[in-house]
């Protein structure tokens, strides 16, 4: 039955949104010799000219104030072999970079080795939206290498999936 109610119950809201399948990214940055990163599903393309992308981050994020300070971030689009990396970067208060192999991007952001693709961005704008911030980045560099054998990590109805066994 359709739910038409002014009070949208959080669990039902989350469940409804779970029907929108997406990829998974880790947003990374680097400041004062420290690597920063968090798992992020809410990545979207925004504009072609200028080339803009966005992500939404919860207001209580420990990572985002540091990313804002750095003024730049990389979007690491995860492959289906990186489920553990997605889980690791979603655990706050832990050493998220333990055992992670990374390389520096042209803008100086850490790129997680084995990612399907990456985009290097400067922060372009930030908008408050409820309990999240919408962060818009201008893309300054991207990965031009096509890793033909690699498939994306997918997320649907609260579970990791891959294109082989969707």
Site string for ligand FMN, 50-89 (x = CB under 6 A): ------xxx--xxxx---------------------x---
Widest Cα–Cα separation across the chain? 53
Instruction: Check residue 90 for interaction with ligand FMN (CB under 6 A).
Output: yes
Which residue number, 54 or 105, has a Cβ lying nearer to ligand FMN?
Answer: 54
Which residue number, 66 or 140, has a Cβ lying nearer to ligand FMN?
Answer: 66
Which residue number, 75 or 139, has a Cβ lying nearer to ligand FMN?
Answer: 75
Instruction: Check residue 41 for interaction with ligand FMN (CB under 6 A).
Output: yes
User: In this structure, what are the phi and psi dihedrals at residue 7, rounded to the nearest 5 degrees?
Assistant: -95, 100
Which residue number, 15 or 106, has a Cβ lying nearer to ligand FMN?
Answer: 15
Q: Which of these segments, 4-12, 32-40, 44-52, 135-143, binds ligand FMN (CB under 6 A)?
A: 32-40
The pairing of strands 102-104 and 25-31 is: unpaired
CB atoms within 10 A of CB 136: 17
Q: How far is the CB of 40 from ligand FMN (least distance, A)?
A: 4
Q: Which of 14, 58, 4, 53 is nearest to 158 (CA)?
A: 14
Contact between 151 and 163 (Cβ < 8 Å): yes
Half-sphere exposure of residue 90: CA atoms within 13 angstroms, side-chain side: 11
Contact between 152 and 163 (Cβ < 8 Å): yes
Which residues contribute to the site for ligand FMN (CB under 6 A)?
A: 24, 38-42, 56-58, 61-64, 86, 90-92, 155
């Amino acid at each position: 039955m359709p739910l038409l109610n002014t009070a949208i119950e959080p669990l039902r809201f989350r469940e409804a949104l779970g029907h929108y399948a997406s990829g998974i990214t880790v947003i990374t940055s680097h400041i004062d010799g420290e690597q920063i990163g968090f798992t992020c599903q809410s990545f979207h393309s925004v504009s072609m000219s200028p080339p803009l992308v966005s992500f939404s981050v919860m207001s209580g994020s420990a990572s985002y104030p540091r990313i804002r300070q750095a003024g730049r971030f990389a979007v690491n689009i995860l492959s289906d072999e990186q489920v553990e990396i997605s889980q690791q970067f979603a655990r706050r208060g832990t050493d998220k970079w333990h055992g992670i192999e990374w390389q520096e991007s042209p803008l100086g952001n850490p790129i997680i080795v084995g990612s399907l693709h990456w985009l290097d961005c400067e922060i372009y704008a930030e908008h408050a939206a409820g309990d999240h911030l919408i962060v818009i980045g201008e893309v300054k560099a991207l990965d031009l290498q096509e890793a033909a054998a690699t498939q994306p990590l997918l997320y649907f109805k609260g579970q990791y999936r891959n294109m082989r066994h969707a």
